[in-house]
């Protein structure tokens, strides 16, 4: 699966990592629903760090369609709220 982090680029991520990412996504959804700015900031950072750590960056000249788009690290709670669906950012 190809994941884009807005403002950073794309990574190739094996499907076996989605359980870990979904757990963080559920925490992010809860923080967003509760207007918990501190929890939101912490969990968004952890989610993006996990994608960077577990994924393999695509070369700058290698452009693939993104299966999943995640917000930039400095995205606001309001901006991320607009990107969410009932499953969060990552579909189950």
Q: What's the pLDDT tens digit per position in 50-79?
A: 999 999 999 988 889 999 999 999 999 999
- pLDDT on residue 89: 84
What is the number of other CB atoms lying within 10 angstroms of the CB of residue 11? Answer: 20
Cβ contact 86:25 at 8 Å: no
Placement of tokens 């993104």 in the chain? 66
**Mean pLDDT of the region 2-9:** 94
Residue 92 has pLDDT above 70, yes or no: no
Which residue in 56, 63, 65, 26 sits closest to 43, CA to CA? 26
Placement of tokens 């579909």 in the chain? 91
- pLDDT on residue 47: 96
Placement of tokens 């393999």 in the chain? 56
């Amino acid at each position: 699966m190809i994941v884009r982090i807005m403002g950073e680029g794309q990574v190739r991520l094996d499907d076996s990592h989605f359980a870990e990412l979904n757990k963080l996504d559920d925490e992010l959804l809860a923080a967003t629903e509760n207007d918990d700015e501190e929890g939101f900031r912490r969990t968004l950072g952890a989610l993006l760090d996990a994608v960077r750590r577990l994924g393999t960056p695509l070369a700058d000249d290698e452009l693939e369609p993104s299966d999943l788009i995640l917000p930039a690290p400095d995205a606001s709670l309001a901006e991320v709220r607009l990107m969410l669906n009932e499953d969060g950012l990552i579909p189950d």
